[in-house]
Amino acid sequence: MEHALLEQVKHTRTNLRQRQLETIFEEFDVQRMKLTDTQRLEKYRKMLESPFRFFRGSAYLFYFDMTKTTSIFHTPDRRPTWIQGDMHMDNFGAFQNEDGTIVFDVNDFDEGYVGSYLYDITRMSVSIALYLDEQGLHNAAQETAIQHFLNSYIDQLKRFQRKLDDPLTLVFTKDNTKGPARKLLKKLEKRQRSHFLQDISYSNEDGQRVFLWNEEIQPVSAEEYSAISKALATYKIKDIACKYGSGTASIGLKRYYILVEGDKDASGVDDLVLEMKEVRTAIPAYFLPYHELFWAHYEHQGARVVGTQKAMHHLEDPHLSYITMNGQEFYIRERSPFKKKIKPKNYKDLEDYFTTTAIMGQIAAKIHARADIDYSHVFTYHSEEEILKAIGKERNVFVEHTILQAMSYKEMVYTDFDLFKNWVEVKFN
């Protein structure tokens, strides 16, 4: 009897967490996202590839946990930052900006919302630990990489505060980056815009450029083709395709590639590909304080994503827009032919990781400082001032605390990953 009671004590915490995970996944993937069992299984199989992939696909779990944790380093609710909302290692990459320059920056804005900067910073720090762990690097290396990210973030915020840099004009190119990021940008400089088109399209027997069907790019229905053509009536459309196989959290959201003729892109190339993606309420919005003024400006979820992208790095991209089609909200942007991220094989040594996370820290500071009164009437203050005020004179404590929290949560992700694996096996087999 005593042994049975002790076993209950031993497993109670695990059982409670298991039920908590099940409730959260059912709530968001079924009730909020409306995923079918087939879509859920597709998403969960991707998440089962690794703890890092699991972390990427379960942002709602992160916010559920983190919003229950107080910190002296949070900015006040009345002084929120416009956050990226899903900051992790794989949401940074290269692409061409509206000036035709190939830059390294944040490249995903679906979860953009307003709240404490600390959620972006903590989520990114956890992702660094998980990413490096996946590459077989020890805890000390993970902690040092996070330290580089955090110190670079603070240093860049101070440069903005002192007017040494302008967040509206600062971009990260081959001229002011190092390591893998610089090598990627230099390599992409030699890439022709036509390479991307050649990869996904061809000229048919009538001489018309159309999409090349494969596992990820599939034909749309006649109804979809008609609806999209009407919604994008200002473009000369050559072909439309369903795009599959992108991301983890995006499974279940409709995504289209639209081949159009036009001369609006930065390089004046005739054919280009627009990406039209369905968007739903940002995950952080379910957990962070409701912001009336923000929603007054960005009630349409497509407007929110477009607004986030413009606030963080695109002021004049001519293709950024949003529409409602068949009751579903979408945003539209050019699918950059230069879009590419740093892959694990691009890191040759520890210094490459440290250099890259430091650049990512600068970029995180840039998007936070840029997306405030400098861009939007939602804000009446400079976010860099509020963030630096929250950190105060306790920089070292802030860095050590964030590293400790990230490493601790990394271990929790591994535990959750095992629980998730068991749950999926039982529920879907």
For residue 1, what pLDDT is reported? 57
Q: Is residue 288 part of a domain?
A: yes
Domain region containing 315? 189-334
Q: Is residue 255 part of a domain?
A: yes
Residue 134, Cβ density class (10 Å: 0-12 exposed, 13-18 middle, ≥19 buried):
middle
Residue 131: CB atoms within 10 A of its CB come to 23
For residue 72, what pLDDT is reported? 96
Please give the model's pTM, rounded to 2 decimal places.
0.94
Helices and strands counted in the chain (H then E): 14, 12
Nearest to 370 by CA among 332, 315, 320, 333: 315
Q: Is residue 120 part of a domain?
A: no
pLDDT digits (tens, 9 = 90+) for 328-353: 999 999 998 899 999 999 999 999 99
Q: For tokens 């539209």, what's the residue?
A: 332
Report residues of the chain scoring pLDDT below 70: 1-2, 262-269
CA distances from 159 to 149, 156, 365, 366 (A): 15, 5, 10, 10
Total tally of structural domains belonging to the chain: 1
Q: Is residue 342 part of a domain?
A: no
For residue 263, what pLDDT is reported? 57
Q: Is residue 301 part of a domain?
A: yes
Is the separation of the CB atoms in 285 and 295 below 8 Å?
no
Q: Is residue 51 part of a domain?
A: no
| DSSP of 115-157 | E-HHHHHHHHHHHHHHHHHHTT--HHHHHHHHHHHHHHHHHHH
pLDDT digits (tens, 9 = 90+) for 78-123: 999 999 999 999 999 999 888 889 999 999 999 999 999 999 999 9
Angle of CA points 279, 284, 285, to nearest 5°? 75
Q: Is residue 323 part of a domain?
A: yes
For residue 7, what pLDDT is reported? 77
Q: Is residue 85 part of a domain?
A: no
